[in-house]
Structure 1
Amino acid sequence: MADERPNRPMVRIDWSNLLPELLRLVMFRLLVKDTICASAVCKAWYESSVSCLMNNRRPWFMKYSLTSHRGPCEWYDPMQRMSYLTYIPEIIGMSVYHAKDGWLLMYKDGSSESFFFNPFTRKLINLPSCEHYNESAAFTCAPTSEGCLVFGVTNIDRDNNFVGINTLKIGETKWETTHFKSFGGLFTSKINIIFLEGLVHCFGWLDWIPVFDPSNRTLVNHMAEYDRSLELSSGCYFVEIKGDIFFVKTGGEKLRFFRLNRNNKGWSWEEKDKIDETSTIFGASCGSVCRSDLPTSLRNKLLLSNAPHPMIKTYFSDGEKYLTNDSGTPFWDRHPKYQCVWIEPPKQCIDFI
């Protein structure tokens, strides 16, 4: 029997004429490698894909074993909820001080040797040996950028509470160390370091906040008022959000947020109900970062790794309070010897994936 349906003319759809808003929504939901492939279709798709790759680079969660010499490095992309495995022999037996701009500042326990390592390009930059072992350390920007400063804290005389500040400008061959009398206690490996407004803020306590000025090598100890019922333990995060420093406390009935008020009358921790609705906090023991340029599906959330367990706990706001939903968390074992860090992948990581 003949097909009696009328012959309809083929309608040619020009996908390049999609509204830019729709294109961006599509690009946001693609894997990085698919976004790069889509950029080759036409000019409109290229412009939309570049916008996604460059302006919405979300950190990835990186986790590897500190004890295994064979275990892979695992990556988790929170936007796509995708995990990847790679083998990186250079980081076996090494720990992370700090991560920023796709680079890791690494060291071997008990050694004064440290180095920069990019786990995507595998580029390694050795640093000069420091006379004093850094308990904690951080850096201002990628070591390939002009003006990168490495900052470390050390204990000089434990009996008399003398501490040291070690700094190194990339390109120099020697660390510069300045000694100070500590009024609050010795530095530990639990110090959180935040660079803000040209100053280095050290957080290992709530009531005592050392602030170092690299320009004149001075250290000012600020005393801050705070809720005495608070204790610093696992599940505590310090993060800079749009020019303010916040302390996030987990472990109770609800998340608690405290903003550091810094003024001439004195410093204090003021409790807040929530963070900015456009912000997302990626928290880990060796540093936390806040992003406010992410797709809607990632906004107003907290993705927190509570070291030493390599798990991510996600909190989201229902408008009044923060709830937790672990359904999107990758299942990893709870072995306690892991290094966990949030790190920003390169703009084009097709070769890495």
Structure 2
Amino acid sequence: MFFFNPYTRELINLPKCEFFFQAIAFSSAPTTGTCAVIALKPITKYIIRISICYSGAIEWITQDFSCSIGFDLYMHSDLVYANDHFYCFSSGGVLVDFDLASRTMSHQAWNEHICPYIHNENDEWFNLPKRIYLAEQKGELFLMYTCSSEIPMVYKLVSSDWVEMSSTTLDSVTIFASMYSSETSSGGPTRLGVVGMWNSVYFPKYGLHGKGCVSYSFDKGRYYQHKLLLKPTKIWQNQKELCPLRSLWIEPPLKDILDLMKR
């Protein structure tokens, strides 16, 4: 296991992790000296294994934690770092909160936020691929459900409750979805450069052989397939992967990108 900077080609090795994991994240750049890497694996519905490794360490620290209200073993979000805590959300409406400083884990459940695409008596979505994403923007958590070409459902954690977001409440936040690590951007043209990119969700690719990313605009209320800008049709449901597992978003340096890549 290692960190790799694709622009500077810098490589920083980590010790081998002896345990299989389903989600992994880190707290800061590995060059800071305070970087913590967290790997998460639900062992059973009520036991979650967490492994920790710090920059310069020679081994991982592993501990099992109990989750009395139950955690979905397979349908859960990526792992997100915010405000010295790591978070992961499961389809059963359970948010796991790992405090890095005290190395303790807590959890909270919201029955009203059980994924509707999964826990629904209607078989309409039964055979369609479903995903759960978690992201942060300036310390605030955003939760998103997707199901094939259905409208993405986005929520923001406000005062211990998940509030559904719309084009007016997203406040120019754009989500770049990935099963490994979803990124966000805000602030309009200074970050994104294009007005039409605000209040949107971007997916790396649609379909196993799709070319170019796909986005959903909350302002326009529709999907776009760049660069073709196709209108959504039923045939999209046969191209099931909005977010293939091997896809990952990377935020490039603000300056001298081409110069770094030439090196």
Normalised TM-score (structure 1): 0.56
The answer to whether the Cα contact below 8 Å between 1:191 and 1:202 also exists between their aligned partners in 2 is yes
- Which of 164, 170, 189 is 2:55 aligned to? 170
- Measure how far apart 1:155 and its partner are: 4.6
The Cα of 1:273 is off from its aligned counterpart by: 2.5
Q: Which residue of 2 aligns with 1:250?
A: 146
Q: Could you list the per-position Cα deviations for residues 214-269 of structure 1 after superposition, in whole angstroms to 9, with x for gaps in the alignment?
A: 11111101112325561355354322234322222334653322223443xxxx43
| 2:156 matches 1:259 | yes
Distance between the aligned counterparts of 2:198 and 2:240, measured in 1?
Answer: 30
Distance 1:152 1:314 in 2: 29
Work out whether residues 168 and 176 of structure 1, in 8 Å CA contact, stay in contact via their aligned partners in 2: yes
Once the two structures are superposed, residues 289-336 of structure 1 have per-residue CA deviations (whole angstroms, 9 ceiling, x without a partner) of 111133243323321236774652122244xx5222224269xxx798
Cα distance change of structure 1 residues 283 and 269 upon mapping to structure 2, 3 Å threshold: same
Q: Following the alignment from structure 2 to structure 1, what is the Cα–Cα distance between the partners of residues 8 and 224?
A: 34
Q: Cα distance 1:294–1:130, how it changes in 2: closer, same or farther (>3 A)?
A: same
Q: What are the Cα deviations for residues 187-237 of structure 1, in whole angstroms up to 9, with x where unaligned?
A: 448541111221111123351111111111111011123255613553543
Would you say how many aligned residue pairs link Structure 1 and Structure 2?
229
For 1:219, the equivalent position in structure 2 comes to 105
- Supply the distance in 2 between the matched residues of 1:179 and 1:235 (Cα, whole angstroms): 26
Which of 225, 230, 237 is 2:133 aligned to?
237
CA 1:145–1:308: 2 relative to 1, 3 Å:
farther
Gaps of 5+ in 1: 1-113
- Aligned equivalent of 1:342, options 249, 252, 258: 249
- Tell me: CA distance 1:189–1:231, structure 2 relative to 1, closer, same or farther (3 Å): closer
Contact 2:91-2:114 at 8 Å conserved across structures: no
Q: How is 1:283-298 mapped onto 2 (pairs within 5 angstroms)?
A: 283-292=177-186, 293-297=191-195, 298=197
Q: Distance in 1 between matches of 2:179 and 2:206?
A: 6
Give yes or no for contact 2:204–2:213 (8 Å, CA) kept in 1. Answer: yes
Q: Aligned-pair distance for 1:341?
A: 0.7
Structure 2 CA distance for aligned equivalents of residues 150 and 229 of structure 1: 28
CA RMSD of aligned residues (A): 3.1
Cα–Cα, structure 1 residues 207 and 335, in superposed 2: closer, same or farther, change >3 Å? closer
User: Residue 305 of structure 1 aligns to which amino acid in structure 2?
Assistant: P
> 1:135, 1:212 → 2: CA distance?
16
Amino acid of the structure 1 residue aligned with 2:96: P
1:226 match: secondary structure: helix
Equivalent residue for 2:222?
323
1:179 alignment partner in structure 2: 64
Q: Using a 3 Å threshold, how does the CA distance of structure 1 residues 329 and 169 change in structure 2: closer, same or farther?
A: farther
CA contact (8 A) 1:285 1:307 kept: no
1:284–1:341 CA contact under 8 A, matched in 2: yes
- C-alpha separation in 1, matches of 2:16 and 2:155: 38
Partner SS for 1:339:
coil
Q: Kindly indicate whether structure 1 or structure 2 has the higher relative contact order, using CA contacts under 8 Å at least 6 residues apart.
A: 1
Distance 1:163 1:324, change over 3 A: closer
C-alpha distance in 2 between matches for 1:181 and 1:283: 29
